[in-house]
Structure 1
Amino acid sequence: MNIEKKNLLTPSEFTYILIGIVFGISAVSLPNSVTASAKQDGWISVIIGAVYPLYVALIAIYVSGKFPKENILVLSKKYLGNVIGNVLNFLFLLSFFIYLPSIISDGGIILKTYALPSISFLKIYSVLLIFVAYAANKGIKVLGKISSFSFLILLGILVPSIAILKQGSLLNVSPILGGGLLNILKSSKGSIYNYSCMEFIFLIYPFINDSSKIKSSVLKATGIVCALYTWITFISIYYMGTTIIQKTIWSFFTVIEGIKVEVINNLRYIFVFFWILIELKSIALFYYACIFILQDIKRIKNKELIYVIISVIIISITMVYYRDMLSRDKIDQYTTMVSTVYNLIYITFIAALVWIKKEDKNEKK
C-alpha cells in the first residue's frame, strides 16, 4: 500500500483508534446484559470475554509481522484472486455496516430521552450523520486525533466514578463466583459482542508510522478496553446490586447520577453530552471502515456522493427497523453474532493462508 507520510498514525493514535471503535455507547448497558445470568460475577464474565479481542490482536500481530505494509484486503485478493477476495472483503464491509443503524439508533434514543425530547428522530439522525460523514471523509489521520481527544473525554467521565466506591457495598459483589461457573461463561459469551470490531486492526495497521510498535499498541488497546469494560460493570454492580441493575435500561447512567459534585446539581446531562461526542467518533470510524473497503473493491470518484447515499440508506434502515430498543435488541441479537462469527473465520482463514504460503516457501528453499 502506498500511503502518504502525512497520513501515517503515531502508535498512540493507532491505539486510541482501536479503543474508539470497540468501546461504544453499548458500554452503559453492558452491566445489564452480563448480570442477567452471571449476577454479581458479571465483571468476571467481562474479563473472560476479552479472550476474543486478545485472539484478534494476536492474529493481527502475526499477519502484520509478515506483511506490515499490506492489509487484509490486499492479502485476501493476493491469495484468493480478485473475485473471491473481493467477495470476502465485501462481507467484511457488511460486518461493519450492520453496526451503524444500531449505534445511531441507540444514540438517538438516548438524546431524545435525556436532552432533545421535542426533536424528531429523523432530524437527530440526520445531524449526527452529517458530523460523522464529515469526520470520516477527512481521513484516518484526523480520526486518529479525534480518537485521542475522545479518549481524554472518556477518562473525564470514568475517573469521577471512583467516588462511588464510598457509596456502594461489597455485599453487592459477593460472594465471588457465587453466580456459578456456567452462568459466568454464558454471560462471557454475550460480552464478546461488546468487544467486536477489533478486527479494524487488519485495515489500518499499514498506517502506523513504526511497524515495530504494532504489537505493543494492539495489546495496549486490548488491555485498556478490557479494563474500562470491567470497571464499568464492577462499579455498577458494587453501587446498585444486580436486582436494581435489571430494572434500569442504561445502568451506568445511574452510577454517574450518584456522583455528588457541589457545583453541579446533575451530572447526567453533562455525561450524556460527552458520551454522545464519544459515540460520534465511533460512528465516524465505522463509516471510514465501510468507505475504505468499498474504495478498495471499486475505485470511488465521488466520495461525497457515496457518503450521502450511505447516510440515506442508514437513516432509512434505522427509521424502519430500529424504531425502538426492543426492535433494535432483537435484530442485534442475530446481526452481532453473524458479524463476529464471520470476522473470526475470515481473519483466521487469511492468517492460515499466510502461514501456509510461508511454509511452502520454506520447503522450496
Structure 2
Amino acid sequence: MNNPSNNSVDSRQLIFLSVGTIVGIGALSLPNDLVKKSGQDAWIAGILGAVFPLYLGTLWLFVAKKYPDKNILDLSKLCFGKILGTFLNFLLFLMFLYRTTSVASGLCNIFLISLASYQTQLKLLIVFLLIGSITAYKDLRILGRLNTLIFFITIILSSILVFAFKEGNYRNLLPVFQASPVNIIKSTKESLFAYNGIEIIFIASPFLVEKDKLAGCIYKTIFIVIGIYFWFVFITIYFLGIDLIPKYVWSVSTVPKAVVIPVVSNFRLIFMMFWSVIIFKTLSNFYFLSAFTLKDIFKKVNKKIIFIVIFILSLYLSLQYKDEITRRSINSRLAVIDAIFSVAYTTVIAFICHLKKGANDES
C-alpha cells in the first residue's frame, strides 16, 4: 500500500483528492447546522469554519518543508518515539474510521429516505462499504483519478443551483449582520464535521511529484471548499429562508426544485443521485486513510486482511448510528473531539519538528 509508484500523485490530483475528502455529506446539511445560531448570517459562519483546515494546512506546510518525504505517521514516531507514536497513530486511525462510518451511515440514510426506501440499512451498508473498499484498495493514484472525475460533477451540480435565483427572495438574506459576532463564532463549531478531511494531505504529501507546489495545493483546496460551502449556505437561505431550513433533513437538496427541465419531472432526485456519488467518493477516501494508517501500524499483516478488518468494523459501527437524527447527535459530540485531537496532534508534531533538525539539514 505504501509503494511510492502506486501512490504518486500530481498537484492537480492532490487538490481534487483533498476537496473530495472534505466535500461530501456535510455539505447537504451545513445550512441546517449554521442557521441555528447565526440565522441569515450563517454564510459568514460557513466562511469562518475554514479556519480549521486553514490552520492545519498551514502547519503541515511548515512541517513538510523540513521533512518533505515523511508523512504524519512517520513524523509521529520520529517525534514521540516508536511506542507512543504508534499509539497516537492508532488514535488517528480511529479518527479516520469514525469518519468512514459516519459518511457510510449518512449515505445509507439518504438512500433510505430519498432514493431507495424499499431497501434495508444492512444491505445498503454492505454494498457501499464493499464498493468503497474495492475503490480504496486501488491505492492513491487511482483514487486521485476518481476524485478528479467526480470533482467536475461537484462543480456542475453546484452551478445548477443558480436557477434558485428565479424562485428565491433576497429578503431572506436580510437583515445582514443581525447575529452577534459571538453567535457566529459559536456556530462555526457546527461546521467542524463538514470541514474535516484536510488530513489526507498529511498522508499524501510525500507522494506529491511536484513538492514545490504543496502550498498551492493546500490553499487552492481551502479556497475551493470555502467557495462551495459559501455558495450552498447562501443560496439555500436565499431560496428557503431561515425558518424553513430546519424543516428539511438535507436543506440544500431542496434547492434543485427550482430547476425546471421539460423532460424531467423531479430534478431533485437526479441531484441527490449524483450527489450520492460525491458522498461515495468521500467514503472511499476515508476508507483509504483508515487502511493506510492501520497498515502502517501492522506492517507485516497482509493488505487484504487490513481491508477485511476495516470492512467488518465499519459495518458494525455504521449500524450503531441507527437513523439520521442519531447520526447527527453523535457527530455533534464526536466532531469536536475529532477536531481537538487533530489540532493538538498536528500542533505538537509541528512544534517538535521546529525544534529538531529537518531532513534537509541532517547529514
Q: Common fold, TM-score beyond 0.5? A: yes
Rounded to whole Å, the distance in 2 between the matches of 1:80 and 1:246 is 45
Aligned to 2:36: 36
Rounded to whole Å, the distance in 1 between the matches of 2:233 and 2:118 is 32
Rounded to whole Å, the distance in 1 between the matches of 2:317 and 2:356 is 42
Q: In the alignment, is residue 263 of structure 1 matched against residue 263 of structure 2?
A: yes
Rounded to whole Å, the distance in 1 between the matches of 2:6 and 2:119 is 40
Aligned to 1:331: 330
> CA RMSD, aligned part only?
1.9
Rounded to whole Å, the distance in 2 between the matches of 1:145 and 1:283 is 15
In the TM superposition, 1:277-292 aligns within 5 A as 277-292=277-292
Q: In the alignment, is residue 69 of structure 1 matched against residue 69 of structure 2?
A: yes
Deviates more, 1:301-310 or 1:205-214: 301-310
Aligned to 1:12: 12
Give the residue type in structure 1 aligned to 2:159. V
Aligned to 1:98: 98
Cα displacement (A) at 1:247: 1.1
- Judged with a 3 Å threshold, the aligned counterparts in structure 2 of structure 1 residues 352 and 233 are, in CA distance, closer, same or farther, namely same
Give the residue type in structure 2 aligned to 1:93. F
Equivalent pair of 2:163/2:259 in contact (CA under 8 Å): yes
Rounded to whole Å, the distance in 2 between the matches of 1:159 and 1:149 is 16
Note the alpha carbon deviations across 1:242-275, whole angstroms, 9 max, x for none: 0010111110111012212223221122112111
Aligned to 2:241: 241
Cα displacement (A) at 1:239: 0.7
Equivalent pair of 1:34/1:46 in contact (CA under 8 Å): yes
Give the residue type in structure 2 aligned to 1:223. F
Deviates more, 1:350-359 or 1:117-126: 350-359
Cα displacement (A) at 1:180: 2.1
In the TM superposition, 1:1-365 aligns within 5 A as 3-5=3-5, 7-319=7-319, 321-358=320-357
Displacement over 3 Å in runs of 4+: 1-7
SS of the counterpart of 1:237?
A: helix
SS of the counterpart of 1:119?
A: coil
Rounded to whole Å, the distance in 2 between the matches of 1:64 and 1:125 is 37
SS of the counterpart of 2:243?
A: helix
- Judged with a 3 Å threshold, the aligned counterparts in structure 2 of structure 1 residues 71 and 219 are, in CA distance, closer, same or farther, namely same
Equivalent pair of 1:111/1:272 in contact (CA under 8 Å): no
Equivalent pair of 1:101/1:318 in contact (CA under 8 Å): yes
Deviates more, 1:269-278 or 1:186-195: 186-195
Equivalent pair of 2:166/2:258 in contact (CA under 8 Å): no
Cα displacement (A) at 1:81: 1.4
Cα displacement (A) at 1:2: 7.7
Give the residue type in structure 2 aligned to 1:208. L
- Judged with a 3 Å threshold, the aligned counterparts in structure 2 of structure 1 residues 229 and 300 are, in CA distance, closer, same or farther, namely farther
SS of the counterpart of 1:98?
A: helix
Equivalent pair of 2:31/2:42 in contact (CA under 8 Å): yes
Equivalent pair of 1:60/1:202 in contact (CA under 8 Å): yes
Equivalent pair of 2:25/2:194 in contact (CA under 8 Å): no
Cα displacement (A) at 1:32: 0.5
SS of the counterpart of 2:135?
A: helix
Cα displacement (A) at 1:101: 1.9
Give the residue type in structure 1 aligned to 2:114. Y
Cα displacement (A) at 1:318: 2.0
SS of the counterpart of 2:178?
A: coil
Give the residue type in structure 2 aligned to 1:337. V
- Judged with a 3 Å threshold, the aligned counterparts in structure 2 of structure 1 residues 314 and 2 are, in CA distance, closer, same or farther, namely closer
TM-score, normalised on structure 1? 0.95
Cα displacement (A) at 1:138: 0.3
Cα displacement (A) at 1:140: 0.2
Give the gaps of 5 or more residues in structure 1.
Answer: none
Cα displacement (A) at 1:97: 0.8
SS of the counterpart of 2:179?
A: coil
Rounded to whole Å, the distance in 1 between the matches of 2:4 and 2:202 is 19
Give the gaps of 5 or more residues in structure 2.
Answer: none
Rounded to whole Å, the distance in 2 between the matches of 1:300 and 1:29 is 41
Give the residue type in structure 2 aligned to 1:331. I
Note the alpha carbon deviations across 1:10-48, whole angstroms, 9 max, x for none: 101000000011111121110001001100000000111
Note the alpha carbon deviations across 1:257-311, whole angstroms, 9 max, x for none: 2212223221122112111111111111111111111111111442223222221
Rounded to whole Å, the distance in 2 between the matches of 1:121 and 1:127 is 10
